[in-house]
Amino acid sequence: MAEVDFKQANENYAASFGDNGKLSIPPSKHLAVVTCMDARLNPEQFLGLNLGEAHVIRNAGGLAKESLRSIIISQRLLGTRDVIVIHHSDCGMLTFSDEQLRSKIINAHPGDSDVSEAVNDLQFGPFPDLDKSVKDDVAFLKNHPLVLKEGKITGWVYEVETGKIRQVA
């Protein structure tokens, strides 16, 4: 595996940090973004967001359900209102089923009942249809009693092939 020189990279970063240490905690654009952890996505760059402007909440797939805890904290304690959900083309979540991943993990630990019990309790949340997964997640947030209704909740697909986003909900 390739070594990454985090320390050197960070020294370069900190050398031009400027006034960023004075930013306040609440995001200045009152925006929360929910998106995938995919290494090809740089949401701050493709949405034109600077430090201090938005919460970017990431997980495998950019699933709203898994982001709920963070969205509630973001809205209730840190003043965000609009939420945008962004899933993307060629996502790993389109490539497997819960059952396949469970079997893979169980097969890697033969006879380990702790592993099989733990993995059978987990839902990994893969989705077969990209646009539908975005629409479902937006509907989930719009219908959730703990998500504030005064902001806009929209859904988008990011194309890893072009860097473009398109609105689907």
Binding residues for Zn ion, per CB under 5 A? 36, 38, 91
Q: Looking at beta carbons only, is 80 or 133 nearer to Zn ion? A: 133
Q: Looking at beta carbons only, is 13 or 96 nearer to Zn ion? A: 96
Pairing state of beta strands 82-88 and 153-158?
A: parallel
Quick one: which of 65, 136, 128, 71 has its CA closest to 94? 128
Residue type, 102: R
- The distance of closest approach from Cβ of residue 143 to Zn ion in the complex, given in angstroms and rounded to an integer, is 24
Kindly report the number of other CB atoms within 10 A of residue 17's CB atom: 9
Q: Looking at beta carbons only, is 132 or 149 nearer to Zn ion? A: 132
- Residues 23 and 27: their CA atoms lie apart, in Å, by 9
- The distance of closest approach from Cβ of residue 161 to Zn ion in the complex, given in angstroms and rounded to an integer, is 14
Taking the C-alpha atoms of 146, 32, 155 and 140 in order, what is their torsion angle to the nearest 10 degrees? -20
- The distance of closest approach from Cβ of residue 127 to Zn ion in the complex, given in angstroms and rounded to an integer, is 10
Q: Looking at beta carbons only, is 45 or 143 nearer to Zn ion? A: 45
- The distance of closest approach from Cβ of residue 63 to Zn ion in the complex, given in angstroms and rounded to an integer, is 10
